[in-house]
Structure 1
Amino acid sequence: MRDGAATPPGERPARGRITRRWPVLVAVVLAVPVVLLLLGRFSLTPGLDDLFGEETRDRSGPALLKSVQDMHRYEGAAGNFQIVVDLEKDARLLPDAIRGTRTLYVASGSVGAYVDLGKIGEGSVTVDEKRTSATLRLPHARLEAPALDPEKSYAVSKQRGLLDRLGDLFSDNPADERAVHALAAKRIGEAARESDLTQRAEKNTTAMLEGMLRALGFQHVTVHYV
């Protein structure tokens, strides 16, 4: 071929088109997994959750004992509670489809009622000269903090607006349920206060002390809660 001769049609232009297409092909290859991940995140295409599923590995270290406390409580009763929490958060001037969350959560937990025997002082126990009668003055029973059971608690449904879903992608703690747990514990605590747990705890504590003191030779045992 002579210098300066025209290139036959279809040779150099074809190579130039292939060179220019490389950035487009690379962008498409990189964008496809991202698009599929977003579709699976928003549950727009069923089956993608299995494709991009997460594998859980427990790499936690051993638990460290920080402190030990002697307990002087006698837990006389415990109540098991279950509540359905329906928590909704709306944004002003925005529809729920854009901004807002609603969580339906079934929470199971327990509350214990105890008598603090560690507060018994010298004047709290009175024994007659024959050591056949004893009178005890104890503080009233109190309620422990509600303890949620994670194995029996679960979310029934979660509805989130588009902005909330996008925020979960960049959040360190997506779909945070701390507000739901706090509300569930509060409601369970209120239900425990309205129940007869403290009265039952005092009754069972009295029965325990009466049995123990009578085994020691006391014939008459009286317990007052003050």
Structure 2
Amino acid sequence: MAQSSETDEPTREYPEVEDQPTPAPAEPARRMGGFARVLVFTGVVFALIVAMCLGLRAVNVLPSFDNPFSDKTTDRSQPVLLQSMRDLSRYVAADGTFQVIVDLQENKENIPDFLLNKRTLFVGSGTVEEYVDFSTLAEGAITVNNDDKSVKIELPAPQQGQAALDMERSYVVAEERGLLNRIGGAFSSNPDQQQRVYQMAQQRISEAARSSGLDQRARDNTQKMLQGLLTSLGYTSVTVTFASP
């Protein structure tokens, strides 16, 4: 059977395909990867250099470099002025350390505290000394008997010194001020309030020292000191009495 001329013949050749452009390599990605490696390498080298410098500085091989922005304190205080000198002839026989809590409040009657109010809670720590002043010995206060090696001494009564606040151990716990006090405090300060708190703390400490038995302790210590001193000089009997305060 004869084949028709119109019958499609098998394709002899593949159809031509246009050449597709070859994708360009990812240069930015490669550059970023290389930059990251360089950055990591630089960081490691810098860390090693810093560690080496710190090590050499620790062994005092390299000089130290101060912080150019560090805090600087300038002392412009004036020289100390000597006001007076005096000779002391007192024997400090005992001292006591006391602590007091001062709660000082100042307000106005019939005015709410949130408007006008000054309240300070202060913890004061201070020391009181008890001493005997030998410069006030009366004539004939010391009687010596060399025959029986005895000594009689009449001393003035012990005196209490002024309470001295220890500012390193004293502190303000709380401070309250009314609205008007805060407004006024923005324009002026009030050191009198703080001074009154200190004075009250000293007064309370002095009063507590008078009733603490510090006076009797000073008498006992003074007597023991004189007896030990005179006994070492060869006296066998030492009698110490105190005048009435």
Give the TM-score of the pair, scaled to structure 1.
0.72
Q: What per-residue deviation string (whole Å, max 9, x for no partner) do you get for residues 17-70 of structure 1?
A: xxxxxxxxxxxxxxxxxxxxxxxxxxxxxxxxxxxxxx9864321211121111
> Counting helix residues as a fraction of each chain, which structure ranks higher?
1
Q: What's 2:108 paired with? A: 91
1:119 partnered with 2:136: yes
Matched residue of 1:205: which SS? helix
Q: What's 1:59 paired with? A: 76
Q: Is the 8 A contact 1:168 1:175 kept in 2?
A: no
1:104 partnered with 2:121: yes
Select between 200-209 and 174-183 the one with higher mean Cα deviation.
174-183
- Within 2, Cα distance between the matches of 1:204 and 1:177? 37
Which of 191, 216, 219 pairs up with 2:208? 191
Structure number with larger C-alpha Rg: 2
Which amino acid letter does the alignment assign opposite residue 209 of structure 2? A
Q: What's 2:221 paired with? A: 204
TM superposition shift of 1:216: 1.5
Count of residue correspondences: 172
TM superposition shift of 1:122: 2.5
- Within 2, Cα distance between the matches of 1:130 and 1:175? 64
Matched residue of 1:122: which SS? coil
1:145 partnered with 2:166: no
Q: Are the structure 2 counterparts of residues 122 and 174 from structure 1 closer, same or farther at C-alpha, using a change threshold of 3 Å?
A: closer
What do you get for the CA RMSD once the two structures are aligned? 1.8
Q: What's 2:183 paired with? A: 166
Select between 168-177 and 179-188 the one with higher mean Cα deviation.
168-177
Runs of 4+ in 1 over 6 A off after TM superposition: none
For structure 2, list consecutive stretches of 5 or more residues without a partner in the other structure. 1-71
Q: What is the percent sequence identity of the aligned residues?
A: 45
Q: Are the structure 2 counterparts of residues 190 and 113 from structure 1 closer, same or farther at C-alpha, using a change threshold of 3 Å?
A: same
Q: Are the structure 2 counterparts of residues 210 and 149 from structure 1 closer, same or farther at C-alpha, using a change threshold of 3 Å?
A: same
Which amino acid letter does the alignment assign opposite residue 103 of structure 1? T
Q: What per-residue deviation string (whole Å, max 9, x for no partner) do you get for residues 66-95 of structure 1?
A: 211111110100000001111111112211
For structure 1, list consecutive stretches of 5 or more residues without a partner in the other structure. 1-54
Q: What per-residue deviation string (whole Å, max 9, x for no partner) do you get for residues 116-137 of structure 1?
A: 1111132100011427100000
Q: What per-residue deviation string (whole Å, max 9, x for no partner) do you get for residues 110-156 of structure 1?
A: 10001111111321000114271000000111110100000000000
Select between 200-209 and 163-172 the one with higher mean Cα deviation.
163-172
Q: What's 1:154 paired with? A: 171
Q: What's 1:31 paired with? A: none
